[in-house]
Amino acid sequence: MSAADKGSNAYLQQVVAQQAVLEDDLRARRGAPAAGAAPAAPAARRASPLAKREGALAGGVGEKLTPGPVDVRITGFWRWKNVLVPPNAFVVHTRRGRATPLHIGLGVSFRFNPAIDSFLVVPGATQTILINAYCVCRELQGVLVQGYVQWIIQDFGTAYRKLDFSDLDDPMRLVNLQLREQAEAAIKDKVATMGVRDVLSDKQPIIEELTARLRAVAEGEDNSDQGLGLRIVTVQIKEAVVSSSRLWENLQKPYRSEQGQIARLAELQAEEAIAQREMATERLKETQRLEYERELAELRARNEARLFDTQAAERLRRTQREHDDARAVSELETETTLHALRMERERHAEEAETGRLRIRREQELKRLELDGELELARSQAQSEHERALLDVERARLRADIDNQQTPASLQALLIGSLPEIMAKLPKPTEVRTVSINGTDRTTVSGLLAEIATVVGALRPDQKDS
């Protein structure tokens, strides 16, 4: 019976167990003393009374080594001590009342006063984290992904403020634990979006996702100051294993079946080659026997065919000659008929062309007559128009001349017309004298007034007569 049938979940139990181990690891060092006080007072660590006594006797003379992964030598006695740090370890030295460290860097040695000073030593070598991530892929199948991450401290001034290096036995333990948890979370997130075959065949997407996330946490995004002062050296995925043995066998079955199929096909090809070789030998013997029989049959058939071809050729020649004679007669009749039809078509075409020429000539004559009438009408209209323009021009000139006349010219014109006027007047029967003094004869109005007076004096007599 499977785990699901028993009402238990092996994967859930495994996750809960790992969580309990993680909480225990984090809880085990929370009560540890401060990192600065440990090197100055080694007796404060969990030690036996004999060890404390030996430490007190040896505290004032010679050299001693602080416990832990870094061999830090402390020389001198009481308040006049020297701390010698290996060249491959980071150290930060602080003093009471100082906001900034007195010494910080790689392999820095310094004088140390236990009463007011504190220091922290961290290994500077590359750290390696082994990762065993139990993941669930896109098909909801368990996959174990094994890999490792190597990192190193790049900026210790940032790292010692943001990370916990207080564990005396292993200062890197909590940092490695935190980075391992982040790496496992990143691997699980990426594997959850991939299929089983993708995880087993191509691990590069997992490496890229894990590298991007760890660098964003350790180094900060876009070289910002939000990082932890660490640098990710390399990220590698060693192995990916399917948790379910049945699923692993099912994944291997296609390849195994394919290889078995190839082997079986090879056997069948060998058997087929042998059978074909045997059949070829038998076919060769039978072919030789049939070849002899065929040659004899071909020889008899050739003689019969030659006789038949001779007779058929003669019949064909006669038939072809009759067909050629009939075709010649038919072609002659067809040619005569076509010639007659062609002559009839040409005659109709000539008549149609003659009719079209006659109609075109009549239309041309009518068009010429219409053009002549239109030209005559246009000429008459043009002449009348020009005559009207001459009359208008003449009237305009006469009006301009009349408008441009001076009183003297009008008087001269009137004087010139007097003989004609006098010739048209009736002969007087009596003589009357009309005085026209008092008018200005130099003006036209005065002259007209005198003429009006004379005409008025003559008008009664004309009425009487």
Q: State how far the Cα of 382 lies from the Cα of 376, in Å rounded to an integer.
A: 10
Contacts of 298 (CB under 8 A, 6+ apart): none
Q: What are phi and psi of 114, to 5 degrees?
A: -60, -20
Q: Are 149 and 175 in contact (CB under 8 A)?
A: no
3-state secondary structure of 380: helix
Task: Give the model's pLDDT for residue 463.
Answer: 44
Task: Give the model's pLDDT for residue 49.
Answer: 35
Burial class of 288 by CB neighbour count within 10 A (0 to 12, 13 to 18, 19+): exposed
When computed from its CA atoms, the radius of gyration of the chain, rounded to whole angstroms, is 69
Helices marked H in 135-244: 156-162, 173-191, 196-201, 204-218
Helices marked H in 102-172: 156-162
**429-455 mean pLDDT:** 67
State yes or no: pLDDT of 342 exceeds 70.
yes
Task: Give the model's pLDDT for residue 98.
Answer: 86
Q: Output 427 or 180, whichever has higher pLDDT.
A: 180
DSSP secondary structure letters along 185-209: HHHHHHHTTS-HHHHHH--HHHHHH
Q: Output 194 or 454, whichever has higher pLDDT.
A: 194
Token pair recorded at residue 1: 């019976």
Q: What is the pLDDT of residues 369-408, one digit of tens each?
A: 888 888 888 888 888 888 888 888 888 887 777 777 677 7
Q: What is the pLDDT of residues 100-153, one digit of tens each?
A: 888 888 888 888 888 888 888 888 888 888 888 888 888 887 788 888 888 888
Task: Give the model's pLDDT for residue 30.
Answer: 42
Token pair recorded at residue 185: 């979370």
Q: State how far the Cα of 160 lies from the Cα of 135, in Å rounded to an integer.
A: 33
State yes or no: pLDDT of 222 exceeds 70.
no
Token pair recorded at residue 252: 């291997």
Q: State how far the Cα of 43 lies from the Cα of 59, in Å rounded to an integer.
A: 10
Q: Is the overall model pTM greater than 0.75, yes or no?
A: no
pLDDT-derived band at 5 (thresholds 50, 70, 90) equals very low
3-state secondary structure of 41: coil
Task: Give the model's pLDDT for residue 41.
Answer: 35
Give percent above pLDDT 90 in the chain. Answer: 0
**325-331 mean pLDDT:** 87
State yes or no: pLDDT of 163 exceeds 60.
yes
**Superfamily of domain covering 126-243:** Band 7 domain (3.30.479.30)
Most confident stretch, 49-58, 69-78, 208-217, 430-439: 208-217
Q: Where are the domains of the chain?
A: 1-31, 35-123, 126-243
Lowest pLDDT segment from 133-142, 199-208, 437-446: 437-446
Task: Give the model's pLDDT for residue 33.
Answer: 39
Burial class of 87 by CB neighbour count within 10 A (0 to 12, 13 to 18, 19+): exposed
Task: Give the model's pLDDT for residue 168.
Answer: 76
Report in angstroms the alpha-carbon separations of 404 from 398, 399, 401, 410.
Answer: 10, 8, 5, 10
Lowest pLDDT segment from 8-22, 136-150, 160-174: 8-22
Q: Are 243 and 142 in contact (CB under 8 A)?
A: yes
Half-sphere exposure of 209 (CA within 13 A, CB side): 19
Q: Output 15 or 38, whichever has higher pLDDT.
A: 15
Q: State how far the Cα of 429 lies from the Cα of 431, in Å rounded to an integer.
A: 7
Chain-wide mean pLDDT for the chain? 76
Token pair recorded at residue 461: 């007599």
- Report angle CA 343, 349, 352 to the nearest 5 degrees: 145
Could you tell me which residues are beta bridge partners of residue 93? 103, 119
Using the 8-state DSSP alphabet, how is residue 416 labeled?
Answer: H
Query: Sign of the C-alpha dihedral, residues 133, 137, 140, 146?
Result: negative
3-state secondary structure of 75: strand
Give percent above pLDDT 70 in the chain. Answer: 76
Q: Output 324 or 202, whichever has higher pLDDT.
A: 324
Token pair recorded at residue 325: 């004679």
Q: What are phi and psi of 112, to 5 degrees?
A: -135, 130
Burial class of 191 by CB neighbour count within 10 A (0 to 12, 13 to 18, 19+): buried
State yes or no: pLDDT of 45 exceeds 50.
no
Amino acid found at 328: A
Half-sphere exposure of 109 (CA within 13 A, CB side): 12
